[in-house]
Amino acid sequence: MHFAIETQNLCRIYKIRGGKKTEPKELLALEDVNLQIRHGELFGLLGPNGAGKTTLIKILTTLLAPTSGSAIVAGFDVVKNPEKVRPRINMVSGGESSGYGLLTVRENLWMFSQFYGIPSNIANQRIKQLLDIVGLSDRINSKSSDLSTGLRQKMNVVRGFLTDPDVLFLDEPTLGLDVGASREIRHFIRKWIDDDQTRTLLLTTHYMVEADELCDRVAIINQGRVLACDTPATLKHRLQGEAIYRMEVSPLNGTNLQDFESIAGVHKVTHRAQDGFSILELILAQDDVISSVVNTMTAGNIHILNLQKREPTLEDVFVDLVGKSIEEMESDADIEST
Amino acid sequence: MRATSLKPFVRSFHLAAWLGWQIESNWADPFLFAIYSIIKPVSAAAILVVMYSVITHGNFAAPIFSYIYLGNAFYIFVGQVMTGISWAVIDDREHYKTMKYLYIAPVHFPTYLLGRGVARFIIAAFSVLITILFGVLFLKVQIDLTEVNWLLFFVSLMIGVIMLAMMGLILAGVLMLLVHHEFGIGDAIAGALYLFSGAVFPLEVLPTSLRWIGFVNPITYWLELLRRSLVGQVAQAFPTLSTLSNMQILIILITLSITFTIISGYCFRWCENLARERGLIDVVTNY
Ligand SMILES: Nc1ncnc2c1ncn2[C@@H]1O[C@H](COP(=O)(O)OP(=O)(O)OP(=O)(O)O)[C@@H](O)[C@H]1O
Ligand SMILES: [Mg+2]
């Protein structure tokens, strides 16, 4: 069987030029990525900022050349036959406002459909339907410069589905959209895939829920490497033997955290500071380890405000693989960059 | 079969021309359009006329005046066509942020860029016409319509515009690789070539070591042919090409244009590949 998307040892190195005299630094953005995505699959790439998700999408959509390795999309090699790949794919990236501001929403979308050679009447019909679905039909004749960032993004999402591609790439499609709009778009994404088994969709996200609830299979990616790739259920099943607890306690500092990690049977602890309290997520070898944790807390004069056992989530799988939660990694990165 | 394989090219060109026209004609105020396409070129010509009259003590009757005036007028095409095509790279990439979506679409990208230049070409043609009319009506630029060699005029004009478009494509390729400070590079290059094209003074004025640039510059031959076709043999006011017949100049122009077409094809593809390797197709700088 051949795949809708297949990559072999895909690598991408960015050369970062500093000053004129300094040697360019090399940044390994993708390292030996091997993925096989089947026709009809809704596949998610889950990873923190800088994991390499966008880089992978750019290579698969013929925007960027890989440094080594190869990729086949919709039956053709993205490096050797980009012009064969292009009519069969489309891509949307979230969180940006693209489009010709002086054209209306309809004109923007119509123009793109024409580049794909879609008969004008069919294109117009699809534009109406899709705008209806994202709740933008009352703005069809507005100049796109008059739309808010979120509405422009909806227009951009419509542009992606408009050409009915064999393989659609969505790079953080719900980034910056409100809760309601995100839900509608997720709903539509799922329906689009279920309606036609020849369609394939690859989306990237750093929202755990999006990956968990929406995708058939998920690859967890960090620092350019695919750490795991399976259905959300199977990924979570890895943690079945372990016990997962969520605690709210009085504010902690770093030294306390190490105390917990050194308790026998505590696999991973993540910590999030809130206003006036701390949230701890603990992955434990089994349930009775929680009593040692509670004892250590009492000894350290830490008050427990709330304690819950819960089912494993993809977040826990990520923590288990990487050692940190996506949120922690991103706040670390924020601290480094300031 | 042939027809279907041509379709993407026709589509890319046609839609790009439509888009370019929407962008260029998007004047909130027709008054601005008038300034841009009439007053600007006419006032540029007026400056030239003033300089000419100071230098020659107002000898507008000399044939060389028409010669200079026409060279300057047709030169409007150079900046507009080259800028129109190459600027689309910056516009789509940085301003509209659509370049990546166009690039991954079944669009023939160089053809798309050529299409984006059409609007500027039309505006330029309008400016040239206005400038020449202004010269004929108010400055005694002498064009005898019965003496004009229309065939030579239109053939040279067409070849020249294609040649300029190819130069624009080379520039577009280069702009794909440049990320910072690309402002007005099209106009800058057009401005530099102005000195090396015999538009307003003969190449003989240039230092010997730089003269060759004028001789390999197809614009030189193109302007000469346009002027000869409009004002006849009297136009051989500059010594540079006076020993060559119209046919000889036309052959040189065609040869140089074909050379530039081949160079621009290779050059554009090379730049495009390099841009794709470096990840520059969708870079956004915060300008
Ligand atoms: N054009 C570029 N030049 C140099 N380095 C780059 C370039 N684009 C990306 N990188 C680097 O490559 C790595 C992967 O980036 P990429 O954009 O693929 O991550 P991502 O997973 O999409 O992250 P995010 O969630 O923030 O969108 C990062 O370290 C990033 O800084
Ligand atoms: Mg990204």
Q: What's the CA gap between A120 and A106, in Å, rounded? A: 12
Least CB–CB distance from A99: residue in B96, B100, B107:
B96
Ranking A65-74, B38-47, B159-168, B189-198 by mean pLDDT, the lowest is B38-47
Chain A: residue whose CA lies nearest to B276: A64
Domain extent for A80 = 5-230
Q: Check whether residue A202 and residue A255 sit in a common domain.
A: no
Contact A91 B12 (CB under 8 A): no
Q: Which ligand is nearest to the CA of A222?
A: 1
What is the per-residue pLDDT for B1?
A: 40
In this structure, the answer to whether residues A222 and A245 fall within a common structural domain is no
The pLDDT of residue A220 is 94
Record the tokens describing residue B249, joined without a space: 């100049």
Q: Is A20 on the interface with B (CB under 8 A)?
A: no
Mean pLDDT of A306-328: 85
In terms of pLDDT, which residue wins out, A273 or A102? A102
Check whether B55 has a pLDDT greater than 80. Answer: no
**C-alpha–C-alpha distance, residues B79 and A100, integer Å:** 24
Q: B25 CA to middle of ligand 2, Å?
A: 36
Q: Which residues pair with A13 in a beta bridge?
A: A28
CATH number of the domain within which A160 lies: 3.40.50.300
Answer yes or no: is A294 within a domain.
Answer: yes
Q: Does one domain contain both A11 and A84? A: yes
> Has residue B266 been placed in a domain?
yes
Structure-model confidence comparison of residues B54 and B203, the more confident one: B203
pLDDT at residue B251 in the model: 96
More confident residue, B183 or B143: B143
A41 and A106 part of one domain: yes
Q: Is the dihedral of CA A300, A306, A312, A316 positive or negative?
A: negative
Residue A238 carries which DSSP code? T
How far apart are alpha carbons A86 and B265 in whole angstroms? 21
B145 near B156, Cβ under 8 Å? no
Q: Which tokens sit at B66?
A: 């028409």
How many domains is chain A partitioned into structurally? 2
Q: Which ligand is nearest to the CA of A58?
A: 1
Indicate which of B26, B93, B98 best probes the interface with A, i.e. most A CBs within 10 Å of its own CB: B98
* Most A CBs within 10 Å, among B101, B178, B277, to test the A interface: B101
Tell me the β-bridge partners of A245. Answer: A282, A309
Nearest CA to ligand 1 atom 3: A14
Task: Tell whether A23 and A134 lie within a shared domain.
Answer: yes
Ligand 1 test: best mutation among A10, A12, A27, A221, most atoms within 8 Å of CB? A27
Residues A180, A66 within the same domain:
yes
Return the number of other C-beta atoms located less than 10 Å from residue A47's C-beta. 27
A105 and A23 within one domain: yes
The verdict on residue B50 lying in a domain is yes
Assign B235 a pLDDT band (cuts: 50, 70, 90).
Answer: low
Task: Write the DSSP symbol of residue A116.
Answer: T
ipTM of the predicted structure? 0.88
**Does one domain contain both A154 and A126?**
yes
B105–A102: do the CB atoms touch at under 8 Å? no
What does the pLDDT average to over A107-124?
96
Q: What is the mean pLDDT of residues A214-241?
A: 91
Place of tokens 């998700």: A53
Q: Which domain holds residue B47?
A: 2-278
Residue A284, beta-bridge partner list = A243, A266
Minimum mean pLDDT among B1-15, B137-151, B260-274: which range? B1-15
- Taking an 8 Å cut-off on Cβ atoms, the answer to whether A63 and B273 are in contact is no
Q: Considering CB atoms only, which of B22, B100, B104 is closest to A102?
A: B22
Residue appearing with tokens 């860029």: B113
Other C-beta atoms lying within 10 Å of the C-beta of residue A310: 11
Nearest partner of A39 among A218, A191, A197, judged by Cα = A197
In-domain check, residue A117: yes
> Could you tell me which residues come within 8 angstroms of residue A320 by beta carbon, excluding any fewer than 6 positions away?
A238, A239, A267, A268, A283
Q: B179 vs B152, B172, B278, CA distance in Å?
A: 41, 12, 11
A61 CB neighbours in chain B (<8 A) are 104
Closest chain B residue to A65 measured between Cα atoms?
B277
Our CA-based measurement puts residue A98 at a distance from the nearest CA of chain B, in whole angstroms, of 5
Same domain flag for A93 and A199: yes
Looking at residue A107, what is its pLDDT? Answer: 96
Ligand 1 shell residues, CB under 6 Å: A 14, 16, 27, 29, 47, 49-55, 206; B 279
Mean pLDDT over all residues of chain A?
90
Residues in chain A within 8 Å Cβ distance of B22: 100, 102-103, 107
| Residues whose CB is less than 8 angstroms from the CB of residue B106 and which lie 6 or more positions away in sequence, other chains included | A83, A86, A87, A115, A116, A117, B8
Q: In whole numbers, what is the pLDDT of chain B averaged over residues?
A: 87
What pLDDT sits at residue B147?
83
In a domain, A236, yes or no: no
Q: How many whole angstroms separate alpha carbon A55 and alpha carbon A72?
A: 16
Contact B15 A115 (CB under 8 A): yes
User: How far is the alpha carbon of B139 from chain A, nearest alpha carbon, in Å?
Assistant: 40
From residue A106, alpha-carbon distances to A1, A89, A94, A217, A321 in Å are 40, 21, 20, 34, 45
Same structural domain for residues A50 and A126? Answer: yes
Ligand nearest to the CA of B282: 1
Last-in-domain residue among A230, A249, A277: A230
Distance of CA A155 to the CA centre of its chain: 20
| H-run or E-run covering A23 | none
* The pair of three-digit structure tokens given for residue B73, joined into one six-digit string: 């007028």
Neighbours of A236 (CB within 10 A): 18
3-state secondary structure of B31: helix
Q: How far is A132 from chain B (nearest CA, A)?
A: 23
Residue B11 sits at the chain A interface (C-beta within 8 Å): yes
pLDDT for position A25: 87
Q: Do B106 and A117 touch (CB under 8 A)?
A: yes
The mean pLDDT value for A159-170 works out to 97
Chain A residue numbers with beta carbons less than 8 Å from the beta carbon of B282 are: 58, 63
- Residue after which a domain boundary falls, among A181, A202, A230: A230
CA distance from start to end of chain B: 45
Compute, in angstroms, the gap from residue A186 CA to the centroid of ligand 1.
24
Domain count, chain B: 1
Residues 6+ apart with CB under 8 A from A259: A296, A300
Indicate the pTM of the whole model.
0.89
User: Where residue A266 sits, what CATH number does that domain have?
Assistant: 3.30.70.260
**Which is nearest to A167 in space by CA: A62, A34, A70?**
A62
Instruction: Please check whether residue A244 is in contact with residue A319, taking contact to mean a CB–CB distance below 8 angstroms.
Output: no
Min Cα separation A61/chain B (Å): 6
As a whole number of angstroms, the distance between CA B112 and CA A115 comes to 10
Q: Which residue has the tokens 């050679």?
A: A117
Q: Which residues contact A97 (CB under 8 A, 6 or more apart)?
A: A149, A152, A153, A156, B97
Are A169 and A60 within 8 A, CB to CB? yes
The verdict on residue B287 lying in a domain is: no
Do residue A247 and residue A225 come from a single domain?
Answer: no
* Helices within B75-207 (DSSP H only): 76-90, 99-103, 109-116, 118-138, 150-177, 185-195
Ramachandran assignment for A170, one of left (phi > 0), alpha (psi -120 to 50 degrees), beta (any other): beta
Is A235 within a domain?
no
> What's the CA-to-centroid distance between A62 and ligand 2, angstroms?
16
Query: Which are the contacts of A194, defined by CB distance < 8 A and separation ≥ 6?
Result: none
Q: Is residue B286 part of a domain?
A: no
Query: Would you state the pLDDT for residue B183?
Result: 67
Q: How confident is the model over A236-252, as a mean pLDDT?
A: 86
A218 and A268, same domain (yes or no): no
| Position A328 in a domain | yes
Q: Strand runs (DSSP E) across chain A, as ranges?
A: 5-16, 25-33, 36-37, 42-46, 68-73, 76-77, 89-93, 167-171, 200-205, 217-222, 225-230, 243-249, 266-273, 278-284, 304-310
Q: Which of A2-11, A52-61, B47-56, B261-270 has the lowest mean pLDDT?
A: B47-56
Would you place residue A87 in the very low, low, confident or very high pLDDT band (cuts 50, 70, 90)? very high
B141 belongs to a structural domain: yes
Cα B67 from Cα A80, distance rounded (Å) = 52
Q: Which residues contact B169 (CB under 8 A, 6 or more apart)?
A: B85, B86, B110, B113, B114, B264, B267, B268
What pLDDT, on the 0 to 100 scale, is given for residue B171?
93
CA-proximal residue: ligand 1, atom 31 (nearest) = A50
For position A1, what pLDDT does the model report? 56
| Chain A residues with beta carbon closer than 8 angstroms to that of B25 | none
Residue A336 pLDDT more than 70?
Answer: no
* Window A:153-212, CB contacts with B under 8 Å: 159
Please say whether the beta carbons of B121 and B87 come within 8 A: no
A125's enclosing H/E stretch is helix A120-133
Q: Which of A230, A259, A287 lies at the terminal end of a domain, its last residue?
A: A230
